[in-house]
Structure 1
Amino acid sequence: MFEPTEQGKDISIHSGVVLRGSNTREDDVHSTGTFSIVEYSFGKCLEWKPVEVSVVSESQDQDPEWSLVNTHTRIRTVSEGPDSLGRSRTVRILLCDLKSFRINRCGQQLTLMLKDGTTYVVYFQLSNADSFVSTLKGFLKFIKSRKDRNMYIVMDAEDSVLEKSFAELDLFQENASDYVWKFVKNLHDRPYETTMEACSKLTDILHIPQPTVSDGAGEEYEVIGEPGVGLVLPPRPPCPRGAPLTQEQWERCKDPEGRITNSEALKEMIFRGGVSPSLRYEVWKYLLNYYPWEATNAERIELRKKKTEEYFAMKLQWRSMTPGQETRFSDFRDRKSLIEKDVNRTDRTHPYYHGDNNAHLVQLYDILMTYVMYNFDLGYVQGMSDLLSPILCLMDSEVDAFWCFVGFMNKVSTNFEMDQEGMKLQLSQLHSLVVLTDPQLAQYLDKHESGNMFFCFRWLLVLFKREFNANDILILWEILWTDLPCKNFLLLVCVAVLDTEKNVLMENRYGFTEILKHINDLSLRIELPWTLSKAEGIYHQFMAVANHLPDHIRVIIGLEPQHKPEISDSEEENATAEPQLDGNDRRSRNSTSSGNVIFGNNEVSFERGINLSYI
């Protein structure tokens, strides 16, 4: 943040304003302040200055300096906030750096998006964003987005001149400003074709209407897939959310001996509305396969006794290891060191883990070390501590938390494997879903070095742990654990978020780096109920045309492929054969040392995607 040497002139001042920067967590302490338009000799700025009134958000979540790392070295996130002397910083934004802004929450919230992808969220407590924007009109040229009525695009000087020129010619049936945006972008990407198209407009020779398909009843369908395929998605149906599973509903699903009589109906209720907080301690044990659904009360008591003995036997294995053994066991030593570092920075702002010499941090460490003994092939990879943290907080029991964590890791362990094949597959599948649901967005991402979907890496790796507050992430996880309405519902949640952010990405003309930064800045700003409803609606769109879906899409959402390839006897034998690994291969797979993960021919982009995702 630059510090001007001169005294600026305040043009407009709004008080009672809270500002949250791109790296600030919602549970941090914010100061109210003044938000002004200030004029300097070098230009006009938006300027936020704090006052001495503190406001604490009710939300409590993880450490703002939490840094997610797998087999790579990550850059630790540094929170915007007080400086080294404890003073809140003044934030200045040059108007020329502003790319767009959006008004939300009945005019009380203003989201500023900069050209480099940085996002600031401004909360007006005593006035509203509309009055501030009205003042801004005198100093900044911007137009309203045609696709998002709450979003405004800031015009560059050259864009304004072009818009005026085209508007005066009055040659275009479409909105002149929209055409200018498209003309400027296409002129850079396709200079010859764009120039010829503009000339054809001038002579009124060429006009291509946007194709739509009608079902004969007046409803229009969106054309998807490659031209000529003819596959269409019906309108997206509304999918309202339900109420959380109640104690009464839970008890009705048990027989006199404690068995769950209809687990599928129970999962449906959980998918629709989640679980009441008071029930999570019990229900999660079933969702994470700690308890079988059909177990009786007596069988569960016996099972827990057995699991407790097994846990402490594994715990004793690593606790009794001598220093001499550790010196000759490099993999164990490296994992132990990594766990020690991670535990000390996991969710430290949460009351359950807050403070020095916290006993729960010791439990977190012990569980992770014991998991290394339970599954040494996978061992420990950074990021696992953040999946365990909410489970331990909820269970408040070392044994119960361990076995629930084992169930969770069984679902997502491929995310953390050294070869990253699980992550590569999910990113590839996500791109396929975007191509089907929104070809325009998919094409835009492809043209801007983002078709690899690396900017979604963090979402998939830890199931949106960084994107939602402590309560919402519990709801999302228990919904995902039902495996309803289909497998890979997490990918549909990603598609739903991208659908919501499509206009921001495209109308701001964001490139690879800006897309990464914007997606990272969505942390704690995604509406969970709306996103879940949209994701379910996308699923129902797919199912409405299920018989026409390509096989690779059918497989993603859990349907049988319609065209199974024929496999020869020799191919089947090779496919089912167990690969033989020598000692060096096994060590390479199990080693915790850092290294580059090569994703096709995009190693450099992959590295940028992972590193920038956590800044």
Structure 2
Amino acid sequence: MQEGDQHDLSDDSDYAASQQQDLGRSFYRSDSAKSADMGGGDSETVYVKDNVAIHPTQYASERISGRLMLVKRGPSLFMTWIPYKHGVAGVDSAGRSSNSGILERDRKLYTIKDVPLADVHSIRRHTPALGWQYIIVILSSGIAFPTFYFYNGGVREFLATLKHHVILARSADDANVFLANNIQDPLQKTLSSLELPRVVPALQGSGDILASDENPGKRQVGLHIGDSSSEYSGRNRHKLHDPARDISIQVLEKFSLVTKFARETTSQLFRENQSNGASFHEKRPLENKYASILAETEKVPSAPVAPDPLEIDRLPLVWGKQRQQPLNVLEWCSFMDAEGRITDSKALRKRIFYGGVDHSIRPEVWKFLLGYHPYDSTYAEREYLASVKKSEYEILKSQWQSISPAQAKRFTKFRERKGLIEKDVVRTDRSISFYDGDDNPNVTVLHDILLTYSFYNFDLGYCQGMSDLLSPILFVMGDESETFWCFVSLMDRLGPNFNRDQSGMHSQLFSLLKLVELLDSPLHNYFSKKDCLNYFFCFRWLLIQFKREFEYEEVMRLWEVLWTHYLSEHFHLYLCVAILKRYRHKIMAEEMDFDTLLKFINELSGHIHLEDSLRDAEALCACAGENGEACIPPGTPPSLPLEATSSLFTQQDQDDI
């Protein structure tokens, strides 16, 4: 069955059950809500539901509850979700509360107000036998709101209310996806603009489907026009020329109310239909459309980066937070008390997540992000720790420095690792002035740290790619001992990437597969068709944390965002999904196979917009919520060590898992 084969909600069991409640032409008012004036005399609240929550992080205890409303103003319908105020905690059906600690600035950040339903492309519902019901609202631009969890039920009433006010049809490809405002031909546009009482044309047979010669990728199906509040945005639609052969008598009767211009247009359409048969074309998915940035790299390898004119619209996150300026020294000091302790590590990590860190204070801030300094340590404790760690480092370094040439001849593993490190460091980031030139002492320090680490973690040793991870840390820290211990902390998280059995990489690739399946099923199906579900084309992204995909300064900005673990320990996986979704149209339109896809992904290096990708990843992470985290097996890199997890994330509520 093709994606265009849709049907209305009349055959939906939930909707049918709701009709038995004698709603008639009246509107749902959940929780006994009545009409309310929303700032204008013609405003009417047609749906209200309390205890509808979003999950800005993966932790259930940090959910934010609020009130979801549908408000009618004239012929238009708007959706609003407002979090409860500080101290007004929502209570779910299990008696648990939320919002107990939400700040006013966060409340304003997550407020969703007056979203026109005309801008909504589709709504995905999920009503599991066990667990909470939720919906995902996707706009025509492809951007999705955070998932709405209905802790006290109400999804059925929400959809039934929409049915009375907007054109809503269920996709036959996925019974849980409901398409809104799915009108594409001039005949149906005219009908919807009349704001007539409910009309259900009986378009049947092969002639019922309208297709466009100009845009063969689109496909038409039967129409449902709701109450007088029905409307259609009609943006960026191509005019269609092949109307259906059979139009029901009911529709023809309604057409007596159409203006002279509309009647003439209709007559012309019927005349064209005498000589043109309806054609069938598979409809392309409209959700999650992103700009196609690269030019035809295979045909013209040196072509400059150019946006696709049909996909140029890049809307920002409709609910998320704009990227901010980097954390500066004054703000940094404000997070510490008189003795140097970080007073609110979560607020600090959040601030860095949205803005990064000014380069002048990176040497201090990175030590906390990487776990070299505990957040609750004082100035004096950190100074003492630095002296102790420096002595430990010198002892470790002396182990390989004391090996004589005679010993080295009998120490095969040492010779192999030393030779591999010497080959790698001389070609690591030599375009950066910090490592440029012959006999550069920084290259020597890079070599010494890597060789010392191979003795510190002798089981893992050294693998290609580690120099890429160490290089920016040495560039920021400058100090050899502090760089080493920060690198050790990073490798505690990313070490499994370099396991001989590649268990860490396979775990991440599997997680990426499941996240794409969850967040972009058309792309997942395409990869399945092309035998690309191993996701090896993303191997370099994951192995060295996008080190070779961005400019050096952008890499440091990205890494400090990832190290906050603010929304998720595995935010880099959502970043992978965001980049793939951004280029999905190009990948599928050019029918890339694995080899072509691998070449394309590698050539994206230097052409990915970091800030846009971070915002896309934030939206996807919030949209996926706990379902996204469930896709990631425990222990998947870069999971923190257990002891670090317990100290950094003490606010996690185990009862809500």
TM-score, with structure 1 as normaliser: 0.54
> Does residue 424 of structure 1 match 2:501?
no
Cα displacement string for residues 353-407 of structure 1 (whole angstroms, at most 9, x for unaligned residues) = 1111111111111111111111111110011011111111111111111111111
Answer whether contact 1:467 1:522 (CA < 8 A) is retained. yes
Answer whether contact 2:356 2:557 (CA < 8 A) is retained. yes
2:391 to 298, 303, 309: 309
2:631 to 549, 552, 565: 552
Answer whether contact 1:395 1:401 (CA < 8 A) is retained. yes
1:240 to 315, 318, 322: 322
Answer whether contact 1:554 1:560 (CA < 8 A) is retained. no
Cα displacement string for residues 185-241 of structure 1 (whole angstroms, at most 9, x for unaligned residues) = xxxxxxxxxxxxxxxxx97697888899xxxxxxx999xxxxxxxxxxxx9744421
Q: Distance in 1 between matches of 2:474 and 2:288?
A: 47
**Number of the residue aligned with 2:448:** 366
Q: What is the 5 A alignment of 1:103-252?
A: 173-176=210-213, 179=216, 237-252=319-334
SS at match of 1:275: coil
Q: Distance in 2 between matches of 1:180 and 1:260?
A: 56
**Number of the residue aligned with 1:541:** 623
Cα offset, 1:449, TM superposition = 2.1
**Number of the residue aligned with 1:264:** 346
Q: Distance in 2 between matches of 1:211 and 1:492?
A: 21
Cα displacement string for residues 53-97 of structure 1 (whole angstroms, at most 9, x for unaligned residues) = xxxxxxxxxxxxxxxxxxxxxxxxxxxxxxxxxxxxxxxxxxxxx
Q: Distance in 1 between matches of 2:586 and 2:598?
A: 13
Of 316-325 and 470-479, the range deviating more from structure 2: 316-325
Q: Distance in 1 between matches of 2:653 and 2:527?
A: 29
Q: What is the 5 A alignment of 1:419-568?
A: 419-543=501-625, 546=626, 551-552=630-631
Answer whether contact 2:217 2:282 (CA < 8 A) is retained. no
Cα offset, 1:327, TM superposition = 2.1
Cα displacement string for residues 276-313 of structure 1 (whole angstroms, at most 9, x for unaligned residues) = 11110110011111111111111111110000100011
Q: Distance in 2 between matches of 1:342 and 1:471?
A: 21
Distance 1:469 1:208, change over 3 A: closer
SS at match of 2:631: helix
| Count of residue correspondences | 355
**Number of the residue aligned with 1:326:** 408
Answer whether contact 1:551 1:563 (CA < 8 A) is retained. no
Answer whether contact 1:554 1:561 (CA < 8 A) is retained. no
> Does residue 387 of structure 1 match 2:493?
no
Q: Distance in 2 between matches of 1:211 and 1:520?
A: 26
Q: Distance in 2 between matches of 1:280 and 1:396?
A: 11
Answer whether contact 2:531 2:594 (CA < 8 A) is retained. yes
Instruction: Please list every run of 5 or more consecutive structure 1 residues that lacks an aligned counterpart in the other structure.
Output: 1-169, 183-201, 213-219, 223-234, 565-615
Q: Distance in 2 between matches of 1:359 and 1:437?
A: 47
Cα displacement string for residues 146-169 of structure 1 (whole angstroms, at most 9, x for unaligned residues) = xxxxxxxxxxxxxxxxxxxxxxxx
2:433 to 347, 351, 364: 351
1:375 to 429, 448, 457: 457
Instruction: Please list every run of 5 or more consecutive structure 2 residues that lacks an aligned counterpart in the other structure.
Output: 1-206, 220-275, 290-316, 640-651
Cα displacement string for residues 459-491 of structure 1 (whole angstroms, at most 9, x for unaligned residues) = 000000000001100010001001120121100
Q: Distance in 1 between matches of 2:214 and 2:487?
A: 53
SS at match of 1:346: coil
SS at match of 1:352: helix
Q: Distance in 1 between matches of 2:380 and 2:432?
A: 36
Distance 1:257 1:531, change over 3 A: same
Say which structure, 1 or 2, has more relative contact order (CA 8 Å, 6+ apart): 1
Cα displacement string for residues 290-340 of structure 1 (whole angstroms, at most 9, x for unaligned residues) = 111111111111110000100011111000012222222221211111001
Give the letter for the 1:173 counterpart: L
Cα offset, 1:508, TM superposition = 1.1
Q: Distance in 1 between matches of 2:610 and 2:467?
A: 23
Distance 1:505 1:178, change over 3 A: farther
Distance 1:171 1:375, change over 3 A: same
1:273 to 355, 373, 376: 355
TM-score, with structure 2 as normaliser: 0.50
Q: Distance in 1 between matches of 2:364 and 2:628?
A: 39
Q: Distance in 2 between matches of 1:177 and 1:416?
A: 51
Q: Distance in 2 between matches of 1:366 and 1:205?
A: 69
Give the letter for the 1:512 counterpart: F
Cα displacement string for residues 534-575 of structure 1 (whole angstroms, at most 9, x for unaligned residues) = 0000111123xx4x77943696899999999xxxxxxxxxxx
Q: What is the 5 A alignment of 1:35-46?
A: none
Q: Distance in 1 between matches of 2:366 and 2:630?
A: 34
Answer whether contact 2:210 2:278 (CA < 8 A) is retained. no
Cα displacement string for residues 407-431 of structure 1 (whole angstroms, at most 9, x for unaligned residues) = 1111111101110010001001101
Q: Flag as ranges the 4+ runs of structure 1 deviating above 6 A.
A: 205-212, 554-564
Cα offset, 1:523, TM superposition = 0.3
Q: Distance in 2 between matches of 1:262 and 1:276?
A: 19
**Which structure has the larger Rg over C-alpha atoms?**
2
Cα displacement string for residues 11-36 of structure 1 (whole angstroms, at most 9, x for unaligned residues) = xxxxxxxxxxxxxxxxxxxxxxxxxx
